[in-house]
Chains A and B, each alone.
Chain A
Amino acid sequence: MNLVEIRRLSKSFGGLSVINGLDLQLGENEILGVIGPNGAGKTTLFNLISGVHAPSEGSIFYRGVDIGRAQAWDRCRLGIGRTFQVPRPYARMSVYENVLVAAVHGGGLSSRAARKEAEQALDLTGLARRYAEPAGQLTLLDLKRLELCRALAIRPRLLLLDEIAGGLTDAESLALLDIVRQVHRRGAAIIWIEHVLHALRRLASRLVVLHGGGLLADGDPEAVLADPRVKAVYLGE
């Protein structure tokens, strides 16, 4: 059984149709890269999977259950973790508390277990040293780490990464890549929206291209990137 099975998914805001009858599957432990031009519906797709928006039509099956109408917090508790493209820290709380929120509420752990989980996630993402700082004072790289760290603390089965490498230097994005690789090894499937292609190429086992709210291409990353239609739409060649 696939971990995620999206069937004929559509979402429109007023008269604007953003996702159009999308079909998409994700296997257990797969890393799926998602690319597409601006306005292709990438972030909307994440918002639909994570519960920020409800679909206009279609369904999202997660581990065999249709979660299309479930609340965001319930989906999180089922093991769907996400990061935000523009980091959304709990600015006045400490870095440690930011991660603790996810471990306690998303992970459903007891206080003691949540503390341990949060500490481990901080260690894994290299944020441990900053644990006492107010999250609002972090640099962009550390904010991106925090996004990842919070999502890890819920012990995700499915991790949605929204442009985690965007705005970072090559060295910085490689550092995050290392963390993502480790998370994957711990047994999470990943859907990863990214404009930084070399980051995706290193990890993604499959690549899909969204265009106009539908699927333009789906398959092996190198084959997809060599597809003339993809080149025309996304790479502008």
Chain B
Amino acid sequence: MAKLTSYAAPLRGLLVLGAVALAFGPWLFGGVTQIFLTQFFCMLVLALMWNLLAGYADIVTLGQHGFVGVGAYALYGFTALGGVNPFVAVLLAGLVAFLVAIPTMALVFRLRAVYLAVGTWVVAEALMLTAGKLPGLGQGSGASLPVAVARMLGATPSARFASIYWLAFALALAAFLTTYLLLRSRIGLGLTAMRDNEEAAGAMGVDLRRARILCFLLTAPFLGVAGAVITLQKLRVSPMSSFSVNEWTVFVIFNVVIGGIGSLEGPILGTLLFFVLRDHLADLGPWHLIVLGALSIATMLLEPRGLWGLARRALNFDLIPVSRAPSREFAARFQGGPTPQGEREISAHPAE
């Protein structure tokens, strides 16, 4: 039982191998699978970002769809109206989301806890309503991307699928690596302490305000780019679907909660499960959402740390290691057993 840790290296190897294989997706998979995986990558990005905000920085946002929608409309504006190359427009969409995040933050950071959650939602809905009023962007009923924009992604449909696939893959990889490196940094150490006990983190010198600002401004461009990639795949923007609270916020929360909030593995596991369930329960129609909802409520009640929390207890190691270890010399003193040599035991009866 205790030897499960010996699986750590092979499992991590498998994970890396899987990621490398996905990089060659367009050569390995057919069109349908590529579309499926593109959606998976985009949802994974949203899950990683919501996890960083709600799981670590205590910013339980219900307005993630706001930045996704801003990215979608920015892409439409740059490509359809501005004639910008879609590959460039995807990045510009991230920049626009970042710029929108600054005043949003100034507004919602005045609120805490449940008020902040509602505040982010209100801002997202306001952004949706604004998008529906913008001239030249289809207003309430939305607009389709011109064929010429789609052609810039590739001459044939399969080339276009591949382009969008790679964009989504690169985005997911960047989101993962950014989150991973952040959590391994000094700031990440503070964020992890915030996750576990915010007041104690502040009392030990963790700058809670700076950490929150950093996380909020870091996630916005990723959400915007995700919105842009989603739009390239759908070839269409509309207020209701580009700013869909269900798809880009509620499902994402389900995924993160089921997978395991406050871990790096959780959002990945949760998003995987979401797509597996969606695929297998599609025939059930709306029932698949009821199953998903019931599953996330059961998780909150029975295992608040999610599926990964459950697996972590059995495995006793992190699949994606972000924790820190002391120096080798220090650790070496304790490898002999529970009462090793050289340990300074404090006396229960100290000399007066």
Residues of A within 8 A of B (CB): 50-52, 71-73, 76-77, 82, 84, 88-94, 96-98, 100-102, 104-108, 111, 115-116, 118-119, 122-126, 128-129, 131-132, 150, 154, 171-172, 174-175, 177-179, 181, 202
Question: From residue B351, how far is it (CB to closest CB) to chain A in Å?
Answer: 9
B106 close to chain A: CB less than 8 A: no
Q: In the bound complex, do residue B345 and residue A73 qualify as a contact, i.e. CB atoms below 8 Å apart? A: no
Cβ contacts under 8 Å, A178 to chain B: 346-347, 350
Are A175 and B346 in contact, CB atoms less than 8 angstroms apart? yes
Closest Cβ of chain B to A161, distance in Å, is: 13
A105:B205 contact, CB within 8 angstroms: yes
B200, B206, B327, B352: the one within 8 Å of A88 (CB): B200
Docked Cα-Cα span, A72 to B349, in Å, equals 35
Known: A97-B192, A174-B349, A175-B350. Is A123-B200 also a contact (CB below 8 A)?
A: no
A43 to B172, CA, bound (A): 47
Among the interface residues A71, A124, A128, A171, which one has the most CB atoms of the partner chain B within 10 A? A128
CB neighbours of B20 from chain A (8 A): none
Cβ 8 A contact of A82, one of B186, B196, B203: B203
How many residues of chain B have a CB within 8 Å of chain A? 41
| Known contacts A101-B193, A118-B326, A171-B349, A129 near B338 by CB under 8 Å | yes
> Number of contacts between A and B (CB, 8 Å)?
141
- Let me know if A131 and B334 touch, CB within 8 A: yes
Q: Check B201 against A90 for contact (C-beta < 8 Å).
A: yes
Could you tell me the distance between the alpha carbons of A84 and B197 in the complex, rounded to whole angstroms?
12
- Sample 17 A-B pairs with CB under 8 A, ordered by A number: A52-B203, A71-B202, A72-B202, A76-B202, A76-B203, A91-B197, A101-B201, A104-B205, A105-B193, A105-B207, A119-B330, A123-B344, A125-B346, A131-B334, A132-B331, A177-B350, A202-B352
Query: Whole-angstrom distance from the CB of A135 to the nearest CB of chain B?
Result: 8
With a cutoff of 8 Å between Cβ atoms, the chain B residues found around residue A76 in the complex are 202-205
